[in-house]
Amino acid sequence: MDLCVKNRDTDFDRIRAAAPEKEPARQQYFIEADRAYFTAEFERALATGEALSRYGKECLENLQKNGRIGTANVVTFGCQMNARDSEKLLGILEEIGFQEWESEEADFVLYNTCTVRDNANQKVYGRLGYLRTMKRKHPRMLIGLCGCMMQESAVIEKIRKSYSHVDLIFGTHNIFKLAEILFERIAQGNMVVDIWESAKEIVEDLPIERKYPFKSGVNIMFGCNNFCSYCIVPYVRGRERSREPEEILEEIRRLAADGVIEVMLLGQNVNSYGKNLREPISFAALLRRVSEIEGIRRIRFMTSHPKDLSEELIEVMRDCDKVCAHLHLPLQSGSSRILKKMNRKYTKEDYLSLVERIRAAVPDISLTTDIIVGFPGETEEDFQETLDVIRRVRFDSAFTFQYSIRQGTPAATMEQVAEDVVKERFDRLLKEVQQIAGEVCSRHTGTVQGALVESLDDHLDGYVTGRLENNTIVHFPGDQTLIGSIVQVYLEESRGFYYMGRVADKESLEK
Ligand code: 5AD
Ligand code: SF4
């Protein structure tokens, strides 16, 4: 098949008509078609002096040297699931021939959006304004939007009306289709919008560009069935779907063979993993099987819903060395009355008793959480209940959020708390959380712990940054050669939320 476009009017139709029906072959085909198109564009630009990459001669020469046809910048907003999706998007773009680019001065800018709180949406609109100015200077740059925010029809309407400089829009269910959607944009010459209401198929086996060679996220399920009354996720990510265990294990085996030593199993509610599979399996059983994979040394998971956290999982966390001693367990509120209105299906007492059982099994576990203040109807008394849980549990860290109205969720129509009251409670909560976290996080000072070295230190020359099993960061003297290995580090000094340390010598190891 000749994928070259010489005649705009006929060739696009011809190329499209010859595309295979089946995935992932169809997307592979469009990757080739896009590559042919952008290669021709790039060569034409080089020949005419009108650079496809309009960001300087040096950049152009660099691309040419690397055999690349343009630059692509993928910006991730939101959670770990989005970060993983961005790796898939970047994988496709690199296969087409783009070079990853760190700034938005690129030929293709793609925002992978989040909509969990309104400020996430506002950030995207703000940056789209900035991109408008850039595109005026460089009219042939391409701008794409995808992810959760795009699943809301009000957002699409607004973008069509006020941000017509956007070139392509797709949602959460069809990110695998990037190459085809890009092809359509080129062929049609104007904005392409492709949003699916629900997931039709899960397409695997497309290229992925992992951010780190030694650690990786792994999706074990998609979507959420919980419908917490404040949350938009079930509406934009759809119903819960678990991947088959064999598929997950095979992916992790491949990652391990490729040098990955740490995996993070990802899902909105991993504790209900596997319940709806033809042959049901529990999350704890999946963890056990992952831990049998040779080469994998650390296993993490996100996110756990307290209502579904089983005794079996607590046992696996206790017994399995590879499962990291860290649990992110969103509390949301400490008031049983508010938890009921949130549709969380546990009480304050249930949560506290769960924490007690976890700590009895894994005494040194690091606990982190999410908390929302100012949920509709929250009184000072309710808020005091939240503070009470915080003081009792003493979290290693807590992500704190002001309640944000999400249209279409049940809580949006409930009576709201005044903004100044929410703000004032938020400040009090943050202060408390930070003070406790500062005290709690320093508890390992003077001990030796394994740290997976992730990068050179951003601020200190001659230092590297590592992550302890309990997710705390440590900075210590070291060089490039340590990246990707687990090093025994002596934790010299706690600086609030991170440590300064040094590679453990024999003496401190023996202590
Ligand atoms: N307002 C504020 N915070 C929210 N979260 C989810 N929805 C909202 C909302 N409408 C928070 C919850 C969740 C985290 C990912 O985001 O705490 O655990
Ligand atoms: Fe949202 Fe609740 Fe599902 Fe978490 S469990 S994604 S908060 S609905």
Task: Kindly report the backbone phi and psi dihedral angles of residue 224, in degrees, each rounded to the nearest multiple of 5, phi listed first.
Answer: -155, 140
- CB-CB contact of 214 with 260 (8 Å): yes
Cβ 375 under 6 angstroms from ligand 1? no
15-26 per-position pLDDT tens digit:
999 999 999 999
Higher-confidence position of 375 and 41: 375
- Which residues lie across from 302 on neighbouring strands? 266
Pocket flag, ligand 1, residue 215 (CB < 6 Å): no
Give the mean model confidence (pLDDT) for residues 463-468: 98
Q: Tell me the per-residue pLDDT of 103-126, one tens digit each, with 9 for 90 and over.
A: 999 999 999 999 999 999 999 999
CA atoms within 13 Å, Cβ hemisphere of 161: 6
Mutate to test the pocket of ligand 2, among 228, 304, 307, 333 (most ligand atoms within 8 A of CB): 228
Pocket test for ligand 2, best of 225, 231, 370 (most atoms within 8 A of CB): 231
pLDDT at residue 496 in the model: 82
Residues above pLDDT 90, as percent of the chain: 87
Distance CA(178)–CA(174), nearest Å, equals 8
User: What is the rounded distance in angstroms from the CA atom of residue 18 to the CA atom of residue 387?
Assistant: 62
Q: Is a pLDDT exceeding 80 seen at residue 204?
A: no
pLDDT by residue (tens digit) across 406-417?
Answer: 999 999 999 999
User: Is the CB of residue 54 below 6 angstroms from any atom belonging to ligand 1?
Assistant: no
Indicate which ligand has the atom closest to the C-alpha of 268. 2
Ligand 2 centroid – CA 57 distance (Å): 48
Residue 102's H or E segment, with its range, is none
Taking CA atoms only, the protein residue closest to ligand 1 atom 14 is: 370
CA of 267 to the centre of ligand 2 (A): 10
Nearest bound ligand to the CA of residue 403:
1
Answer yes or no: is the C-beta of 305 below 6 A from any ligand 2 atom.
yes
**How many residues comprise the chain?**
511
Q: 124: closest CA among 87, 169, 92, 180?
A: 169
- Six-digit token string for 93: 């773009």
Average pLDDT over residues 413-436: 97
Neighbours of 205 (CB within 10 A): 12
- Encode burial over 209-242: b for 16+ CB neighbours within 10 A, e otherwise: bbebebbbbbbbbbbbebebbbbbbbbbbbebbb
The Cβ-side half-sphere exposure at 285, using a 13 Å CA radius, reads 11
Name the residue type at position 293: I
Mean pLDDT over all residues of the chain?
94
Helix spans in 278-379 (H)? 283-291, 311-319, 336-341, 348-361
Long-range Cβ contacts of 58-67 (<8 Å, 24+ apart): 62/99, 63/99, 66/99, 67/97
Q: Enter the pTM of the model.
A: 0.92
Q: Is the CB of 227 under 6 A from ligand 2?
A: yes
Average pLDDT, integer, range 70-75: 95
How high is the pLDDT of residue 6?
77
Q: Which two tokens stand for residue 34?
A: 């896009």
The bound ligand whose nearest atom lies closest to the alpha carbon of 378 is: 1
Residues 318-356 pLDDT 10s: 999 999 999 999 999 999 999 999 999 999 999 999 999
**Phi/psi of residue 373, nearest 5 degrees:** -110, 150
pLDDT at 298 over 80: yes
